[in-house]
């Protein structure tokens, strides 16, 4: 087999908390999606480097005011966290907890790429869970510092009556800010292995990867530090992932690394074994690139352009809505070749506007643009492009009460409202908008532009200093939005979305 050169990160975009499995010659990965819907994206690869988005586990998983972004707060920083992906006896399982619902969710399917998925809920928060199928028994390991084990029924859909449900062990406290979490559990070579992330508040103050092992399910467990390295990037540690082997018996780990505003990016590292302990990297270090005996493949794009030419209201997989969409107020068929976003409720800012359609941003640089027909907008309506995170920035068209149109660049202001940095009278009904993102070497800036013809671009407002915050707990996304501040019933039409990972 020819060897392939791998370069980290394998995906320079927000794909946090990766959980990877292999089934025969194919690898699958699930990751955290929180408030983005559909959620729990499933990616597929033949070589652990080139990943293709093939499915989601759910369209939405709850229907309430918070998930529908109608309560003025939403589920930012909550939703689906740290999903665990497993395959057992012909079935694929994905499980996760939701902080806002205080529930543990288990989904299963025979066909991971097409579904359908069966859904089961178990009461109580099972933080960062990992499923483990152990002969004829099923367990979930979970917790933050206080690591617990619970036994599930044989079909993994409920707690087993009278089964194990207890504290397993406590992890280190001294000098640790974030105690062990993000469990990935395995049974290999007569050992139980539990992989964790932790974050010291002493020493180098960066995330690191650990493993606990025991020959007995209930312990005692030994502890070993596996990786404490930033791969030369801003003291950002690499951690929170599991291990996976190839058909040839080689082992690898997929971990994430914080890359500031673009989000948490997945990285691939080799794993070897010494005295039944896993060893990550080379000489205790993570490597930016290395050669491995895995097949090459043609990379597929995670973020894509779209001309909105659809026969039915079913968007390509790359799009996700910010929270649950109102499916009565968007269409790609009502005006063929256009995305129509209708207003449905009043919002104080784009952060609380329903039906904002988003994709990830990518490093080191990327750019997205669109053209909007504003004829259907009502007074008080705002439509445009957003660099979406807690500290957001927008460029768009605003309809004034006197019927005048203005092009405006806005940022997040006080009381979570949009604050206009600059606005200009704009006479035409059609406007071209663009945002350029620069994640190169931690620059983390976004620049905003408008045009009357799509060729002569004019800067507007100010550059946005993007910041990764725990309020959204996600990397910046680019989105198309239309919302009302005065009255409902207006609409904006988007002719296309054009994306490039090289700023033009």
Q: What was the pLDDT predicted at 414?
A: 84
Cβ atoms of 411 and 464 within 8 Å: the answer is: yes
Beta strands in 259-402 (DSSP E): 264-274, 277-280, 289-292, 320-322, 330-331, 339-342, 357-360, 365-373, 382-388, 393-399
Q: Is the peptide bond before 286 cis (omega within 30 degrees of 0)?
A: no
Q: What backbone phi and psi angles, to 5 degrees, belong to 416?
A: 65, 15
What pLDDT, on the 0 to 100 scale, is given for residue 29?
A: 98
Tell me the average confidence (pLDDT) per consecutive run of 10 residues in the chain, 504 residues long.
83 97 98 97 96 98 97 96 97 96 97 98 97 96 98 98 98 96 97 98 96 98 97 95 96 97 97 97 90 84 98 97 98 98 95 97 97 97 98 97 91 89 96 97 95 97 97 97 96 98 64
Residues 148, 217: Cα–Cα separation, whole Å: 12
**2 upstream amide cis, omega within 30 of 0:** no
Q: What pLDDT does residue 296 have?
A: 81
Structure tokens at 260: 């500031």
* Domains in the chain: ranges and CATH: 4-292 (2.115.10.20), 320-500 (2.60.120.200)
pLDDT, residue 504, reads 42
Amino acid 284: pLDDT: 83
Q: What is the pTM of this model?
A: 0.96
């Amino acid at each position: 087999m020819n060897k392939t050169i791998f370069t980290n990160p394998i995906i320079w975009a927000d794909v946090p908390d990766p959980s990877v499995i292999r089934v025969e010659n194919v690898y699958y990965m699930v990751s955290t999606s929180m408030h983005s819907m559909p959620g729990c994206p499933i990616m597929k690869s033949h070589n652990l480097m080139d990943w293709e988005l093939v499915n989601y586990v759910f369209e939405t998983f709850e229907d309430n005011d918070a998930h529908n972004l109608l309560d003025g707060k939403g589920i930012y920083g909550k939703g689906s966290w740290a999903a665990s992906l497993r395959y057992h006896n012909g079935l694929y399982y994905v499980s996760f907890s939701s902080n806002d619902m205080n529930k543990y969710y288990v989904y299963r399917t025979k066909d991971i790429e097409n579904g359908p998925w069966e859904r089961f809920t178990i009461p109580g928060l099972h933080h960062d869970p990992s499923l483990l199928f152990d002969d004829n028994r099923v367990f979930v390991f979970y917790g933050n510092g206080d690591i617990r084990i619970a036994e599930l029924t044989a079909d993994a859909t409920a707690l087993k009556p009278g089964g194990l449900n207890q504290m397993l062990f406590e992890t280190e406290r001294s000098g640790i800010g974030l105690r062990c979490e993000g469990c990935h559990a395995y049974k290999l070579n007569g050992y139980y292995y539990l992989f964790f992330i932790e974050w010291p508040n002493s020493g180098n103050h960066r995330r690191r990867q650990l493993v606990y092992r025991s020959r007995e399910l209930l312990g005692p467990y030994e502890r070993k530090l596996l990786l404490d390295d930033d791969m030369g990037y801003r003291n950002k540690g690499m951690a929170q992932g599991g291990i996976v082997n190839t058909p040839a018996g080689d082992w690898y780990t997929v971990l994430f690394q914080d890359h500031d505003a673009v989000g948490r990016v997945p990285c691939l590292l080799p794993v070897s074994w010494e005295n039944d302990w896993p060893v990550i990297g080379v000489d205790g270090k993570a490597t930016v690139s290395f050669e491995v005996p895995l097949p090459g493949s043609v990379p597929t794009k995670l973020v894509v352009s779209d001309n909105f030419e659809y026969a039915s209201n079913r968007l390509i997989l790359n799009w996700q809505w910010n929270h649950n969409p109102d499916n009565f107020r968007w269409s790609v068929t009502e005006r063929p070749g256009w995305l129509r976003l209708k207003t449905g409720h009043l919002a104080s800012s784009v952060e609380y506007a329903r039906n904002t359609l988003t994709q990830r941003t990518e490093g080191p640089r990327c750019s997205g643009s669109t053209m909007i027909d504003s004829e259907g907008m009502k007074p008080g309506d705002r439509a445009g492009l957003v660099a979406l995170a807690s500290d957001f920035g927008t460029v768009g068209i605003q309809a004034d009460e006197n019927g005048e149109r203005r092009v405006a660049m806005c940022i997040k202001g006080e009381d979570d409202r949009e604050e206009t940095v600059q606005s200009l009278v704009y006479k035409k009904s059609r406007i071209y908008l663009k945002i350029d993102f620069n994640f190169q070497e931690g620059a983390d800036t976004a620049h905003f532009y408008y045009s009357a013809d799509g060729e002569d671009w004019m800067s507007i407002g100010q550059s946005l200093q993007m910041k990764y915050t725990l309020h959204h707990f996600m990397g910046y996304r680019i989105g198309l939005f239309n919302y009302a501040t005065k009255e409902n019933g207006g609409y904006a039409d988007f002719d296309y979305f054009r994306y490039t990972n090289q700023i033009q």
